[in-house]
Structure 1
Amino acid sequence: MSTPPRPSTPQPPASTPRPAHVRPARPEDAAAIAAVAAATFGDASPASLPPEVIQAHIDEHLNERVVAAWIADPARIVLVGGIAPDEVLGYAMLETAATPEAPVVEHLGETPAGHLSKVYVLAESRGTGLAEALVRDGVARLEALGFRHVWLGTNAQNVRANAFYERLGFEKIGARTFVVGGTRVEDDWVRLLSLG
């Protein structure tokens, strides 16, 4: 004798990600950005990098004083974002005067290109659209300044980040070496986005 089917339980509708709020960083955001940097830098580092080297890099290059200098630098665009307007759950930094890596010069010659230097969001904010919102806002700001190309470097072993940048249209054009704490790290991919 077969068991009668159970009545189905109504399922809640799939949640729609709430739109991310992205804005330029203010001087008072420096501590919050440094905290996000400290919490996320290790995630983007290759597994072969010792924890003490990662921590030394954070202490020297991602502290509140350094972040405050980024925010004050007119050649940099520092953005923060969250789900609520004043949250800092992630940040991005773009540069208008960075020296391009060799693969960028090989592709563009003397044509200027903006640099997407950093994009990090806290683990609990991944998959919310925040990272994409930070990148798109930053790229739009570079485009408004007249840039038609944006380049970046990301660790070759960071599968998640590379898939993310591929999806946003950043084409892999070469490699570079990234050094943390005086230790040679595996090659980064250099990627280029060309705008309209």
Structure 2
Amino acid sequence: MNIKKINNSDEDIKKLQTIAKQTFTETFGSQNTAEDLAKFLNEEYDFNKLKSEVADPESFYYFCYFNDELAGYLKLNIGSAQTESDYPEALEIQRIYVLQKYQGQKIGLSMMQHAIAVAKKIKKSQVWLGVWEKNLKAQAFYRKSGFEKVGSHDFILGDDIQTDYILVKEL
């Protein structure tokens, strides 16, 4: 397993855009309308938006490789880059995705450990994330990793307002 910070090169942004769209579709495509999914993918994973996020000094994107193949990616946020302002002294795990064909290889666990190591390195006392209320597999993974539910917030997927649970892990 190899985790590497994503560069703001056009090549890395295109790879990020491809894996982001693929992993999101694999994870949530069957549970949402094609219209909502398409709108979300086009807005959230727009090339210029991703390029701007990768350039943001308060966001950290990483690729995860398994046997030298791109298997997943991770997005972490601090400060004003966080999707919620309730945790100013925490690190947010905004995205942690593994391609379906690599699931079960402990890639998510490696990325989680990486995120926690980053949080400790930059002296954060908490890590938090949002997880869809219907994503039971991810919720179980986060519980095993020591996260506890502390609230919820709205997540907009296309035109559909969904509920994400907010989970926090004390470090």
TM-score scaled by length of structure 1: 0.78
Structure 1 runs (4+) greater than 4 angstroms displaced: none
1:22 matched to 2:3 = yes
Query: What are structure 1's unaligned runs of at least 5 residues?
Result: 1-19
Q: Quick check: which one's strand share is greater? A: 2
Q: 1:55 aligns with which of 38, 60, 65?
A: 38
Change beyond 3 A, Cα 1:127–1:115: same
Residue 94 of structure 1 is matched in structure 2 by: 76
For residues 29 and 167 of structure 2, the distance between their equivalents in structure 1, rounded to whole angstroms, comes to: 18
Residue 142 of structure 2 is matched in structure 1 by: 165
Contact kept? 1:91, 1:121, Cα under 8 Å: yes
| Aligned-residue offset at 1:73 | 1.0
Aligned-residue sequence identity (percent) comes to 23
For residues 95 and 60 of structure 2, the distance between their equivalents in structure 1, rounded to whole angstroms, comes to: 11
- RMSD in angstroms over aligned alpha carbons? 1.9
Larger Rg: 1
Amino acid at match of 1:100: E
Contact kept? 1:46, 1:157, Cα under 8 Å: no
Q: Quick check: which one's helix share is greater? A: 2
Query: Deviation per CA, 1:109-157, whole angstroms, max 9, x where unpaired?
Result: xx61111100111101111111111121122112211101011000011
1:82 matched to 2:65 = yes
Secondary structure of 1:89's partner? strand
Residue 132 of structure 2 is matched in structure 1 by: 155
- The correspondence of residues 108-147 of structure 1 with structure 2, limited to 5 A, is 112-147=89-124
1:71 matched to 2:54 = yes
Residue 189 of structure 1 is matched in structure 2 by: 165
TM-score scaled by length of structure 2: 0.88
Query: What are structure 2's unaligned runs of at least 5 residues?
Result: none
Contact kept? 2:38, 2:158, Cα under 8 Å: no
For residues 20 and 133 of structure 2, the distance between their equivalents in structure 1, rounded to whole angstroms, comes to: 20
In the comparison of the two structures, how many residue pairs are matched?
167
For residues 141 and 173 of structure 1, the distance between their equivalents in structure 2, rounded to whole angstroms, comes to: 22
Change beyond 3 A, Cα 1:39–1:46: closer
